[in-house]
A and B are shown apart, each in its own frame.
Chain A
């Protein structure tokens, strides 16, 4: 099992560009989520999904879109990148919403 796989590991974007951060899990988990981590802070929830076809907003959803067409994949889209979106992004999955969560290795995004 690969667990939770995120790509890319590093990315530099120019302001206004769009991109998609990929997240895939092979544990057949129903619950998937995206977090961002900023210096000196814990992780904050961006969006989450409790199953294929179901998504909802977290604490900091503005500027991001998600979709969940399959159980395995949960991509995060930045619509028009801004310097405030410079952060480290983590994807996580869990068998259910209160089950043990597993995190990907993170994507370090810089917006210039």
Chain B
């Protein structure tokens, strides 16, 4: 199956700081999504972004499919941004999501 690597594995930020999370994948993809798993365990959809750039408030994401990576930008971080951020992909030749192991983000006031 496709390999999905996320970096950094852990990140601690002061409230108000900006951050960039990275997702590398090993094969061409038909789907790429970013999720936020909050401290209660819920998986929240952030972006459906197999290619291109999208923005939603303080969050934005860019996927460069030809170079097999995606970036998630968080600006002016807030304590409610804390949790684990997952990247997940569906390869061109497959039909299942492959998840990375996530980036654990802690925002301190």
Chain A residues within 8 Å of B, Cβ to Cβ: 33, 35, 40-45, 48, 50, 58-59, 88, 90, 92, 97-103, 105-106, 108
A-B contact pairs, 23 of them (CB 8 A): A35-B97, A40-B101, A42-B4, A42-B86, A43-B88, A43-B99, A44-B99, A48-B95, A48-B96, A59-B96, A90-B43, A98-B31, A98-B50, A100-B45, A101-B31, A101-B45, A101-B88, A101-B97, A103-B35, A103-B42, A103-B43, A105-B41, A106-B43
Q: Is B30 an interface residue (CB 8 A)?
A: yes
Q: Is B83 an interface residue (CB 8 A)?
A: no
Bound complex: CA A80 to CA B64 (Å)? 45
Minimal beta-carbon separation of A76 from chain B (angstroms): 15
Query: In the assembled complex, which residues on chain A have CB atoms less than 8 Å from the CB atom of B35?
Result: 103
How many residues of chain B are within 8 Å of chain A by beta carbon? 22
10 more A-B residue pairs beyond the given contacts A45-B96, A48-B96, A97-B90, with a C-beta to C-beta distance below 8 A: A42-B88, A42-B102, A43-B86, A59-B96, A100-B31, A100-B45, A101-B45, A101-B97, A103-B42, A108-B41
Q: Is B8 an interface residue (CB 8 A)?
A: no
Minimal beta-carbon separation of A48 from chain B (angstroms): 6
Minimal beta-carbon separation of A23 from chain B (angstroms): 14
Query: In the assembled complex, which residues on chain B have CB atoms less than 8 Å from the CB atom of A41?
Result: 101
Query: In the assembled complex, which residues on chain B have CB atoms less than 8 Å from the CB atom of A102?
Result: 45
Bound complex: CA A106 to CA B95 (Å)? 21
Residue-wise interface mask of B (71-103) relative to A, using a CB-CB cutoff of 8 A (1 in contact, 0 not): 000000000000000101010000111011110
